[in-house]
Amino acid sequence: MTQSIKTPEWVKDAIFYQIFPDRFANSERVTKPSNLEAWDASPTPHGFKGGDLLGVAEHLDYLHDLGISAIYLNPVFQSASNHRYHTHDYYKVDPLLGGNDALRELLDAAHARGIRVVLDGVFNHASRGFFQFNHIIECGKQSPYLDWFTVKSFPLNAYDEKQKPNYGAWVGLHALPEFNTTNPQVREFIFDVAVRWIEFGIDGWRLDVPHEIDDDSFWQEFRRRVKNANPEAYIVGEIWTPAQRWLEGDQFDAVMNYVLTQPLMSFFGARTLAPLWHGGTYPPAKPMNAPEFAQAVESALSLYDWEITSAQMNLLGSHDTPRFVNMVGGDRSALRLAMLCMMTLPGAPTIYYGDEIGLSGGYEPESRGGMPWDRSQWDVELLGYIRGAIQLRNAHAALRRGTYRTLLAEGEQLAYARELDGERLIVAFNAAADPQTLHVPLAGGGSPRVLFGEVQEITRQDAVVSINALSRSGVVIALQN
């Protein structure tokens, strides 16, 4: 550990909502070209649907009512791709999204509601349209920007995909030339971009494939610059595996907690798991029983300092995975239970837009469909359940900041305790397809009272709380003295 670890306080209480800007909502105030895909048509790799940042701003009341306190936006800078990971200009919000003024309005409106906004930072690679790379395409060996990238030969093969790119390109994709971050000018450019938008008012950066910049000193300086601009800015990396190297207090505050994602899928969706690859470095998910899940959770929670663990970005899925409901074979009971579990574990829960209303989608681009705003298309029962789970977390500090302890893990039965400042909560699940009685061992006094969920009966005798649980159900219980 290089220093005392400190992560942003607000993140420990946050509930994130991830938005893919082209697909969430559009505003009539943003002028668009005419060649757009129909909003409700199946998404395509290169098509645009016309979502924008003013559309997000106009639906902030929906997010606020849901209980959301932070937004993670996929890339917003000028780009020739609908996902905008192919950045043309890091200083300009894409005109299709409404430009810089739209981001300004969104930030002001979100902050007025107590909602933070984190942007996606794509700093490992740029695009063929990025000025300095385009300069090399046009000027060849004579370009002054030659050492901004790693060029192996000329002429530059930027478009003929029958041949490999003759320059450093992320995973060999012609469209994604990799920055040469050993170049001091490149480093200063990226640091300036990072600070520029923090000073503009964003609340942090989600870093795309940051492990590809294999240089601790780069990320240490990135952190120093960002934290100097705003000590409470959140820096979270997209790393799918255990990430101790980056989480020692001198680089990132947290990572996207995919290490926890697969156990949530494998336990709650054990009966219906689809034969899909989840993405990243994961093998296909395999069913887990309660003891295996409890061990996986405890392992994930023990990877890092508690300050880091409390700020992890927990998630069930993202733009890089099939939607959770597809991963579990369409079983919405698995989605409900996994959501409740995520809302009651340490770390900041994250909802991928539309999951709360039952939006489905397989491999990308299917998982990036348009958010339906016709409520007749919503699973309102699912929405009510998830809203209730969010409200529960927001109402109880023990669920956000309390200690964690496994109480029961047998077969398809699971229970754990969250405790803080005298508040003691039990979270219990019956993942079985039939009603079961959970016998939860518990030291200390207190009468059980249901805070969330439905049960047939709860009784306590000495050091055991017995829960007659419904099939495929979860319950949160307070112990009152």
Neighbours of 256 (CB within 10 A): 25
The DSSP string of 141-155 is: GG-TTGGGB-B-SSS
Whether 199 is catalytic is: no
The DSSP string of 196-221 is: HHHHHT--EEEESSGGGS--HHHHHH
What is the rounded distance in angstroms from the CA atom of residue 481 to the CA atom of residue 466? Answer: 17
pTM greater than 0.75 (yes/no): yes
Tell me the domains of the chain and their CATH numbers.
9-124+179-395 (3.20.20.80), 402-480 (2.60.40.1180)
Token pair recorded at residue 40: 């409700």
pLDDT value of position 324 = 95
- The b-or-e profile of 326-348 (16+ CB within 10 A means b, else e) is bbbeebbbbbbbbbbbbbbbbbb
The DSSP string of 293-330 is: HHHHHHHHHTSS-HHHHTT-EEES--TTS--HHHHTTT
Q: Is 169 exposed, middle or buried (0-12, 13-18, 19+ CB in 10 A)?
A: buried
Radius of gyration of the CA atoms of the chain, in A: 23
The DSSP string of 409-441 is: EETTEEEEEEEETTEEEEEEEE-SSS-EEEEEE
The one-character DSSP state at 125 is B
Q: Which amino acid is at 222?
A: F
pLDDT value of position 1 = 41
Nearest CA to 241 out of 215, 209, 219, 284 is that of 209
Quick check: 386 and 356 in contact, CB under 8 A?
A: yes
For 96, residues 6+ apart whose C-beta sits below 8 A from its C-beta are 22, 30, 32, 33, 48, 50, 52
- Annotated catalytic residue within 52, 203, 208, 355: 208
End-to-end CA distance of the chain: 41
- For the sheet with 348-352, list strands across it: 254-255, 234-237, 204-207, 116-121, 70-73, 16-19, 348-352, 313-315
For 277, residues 6+ apart whose C-beta sits below 8 A from its C-beta are 283, 284
Whether 192 is catalytic is: no
- Annotated catalytic residue within 22, 105, 238, 356: 238
Quick check: 338 and 324 in contact, CB under 8 A?
A: yes
What is the rounded distance in angstroms from the CA atom of residue 26 to the CA atom of residue 55? Answer: 4
Give the residue carrying structure tokens 């998910």.
Answer: 285
pLDDT value of position 481 = 78
pLDDT value of position 2 = 45
Give the chain's length: 481
Quick check: 183 and 177 in contact, CB under 8 A?
A: no
pLDDT value of position 26 = 97
Per-residue pLDDT of the chain (481 residues; tens, 9 = 90+): 445 899 999 999 999 999 999 999 999 999 999 999 999 999 999 999 999 999 999 999 999 999 999 999 999 999 999 999 999 999 999 999 999 999 999 999 999 999 999 999 999 999 999 999 999 999 999 999 999 999 999 999 999 999 999 999 999 999 999 999 999 999 999 999 999 999 999 999 999 999 999 999 999 999 999 999 999 999 999 999 999 999 999 999 999 999 999 999 999 999 999 876 656 556 678 999 999 999 999 999 999 999 999 999 999 999 999 999 999 999 999 999 999 999 999 999 999 999 999 999 998 999 999 999 999 999 999 999 999 999 999 999 999 999 999 999 999 999 999 999 999 999 999 999 999 999 999 888 789 999 999 999 999 998 999 999 999 999 999 998 7
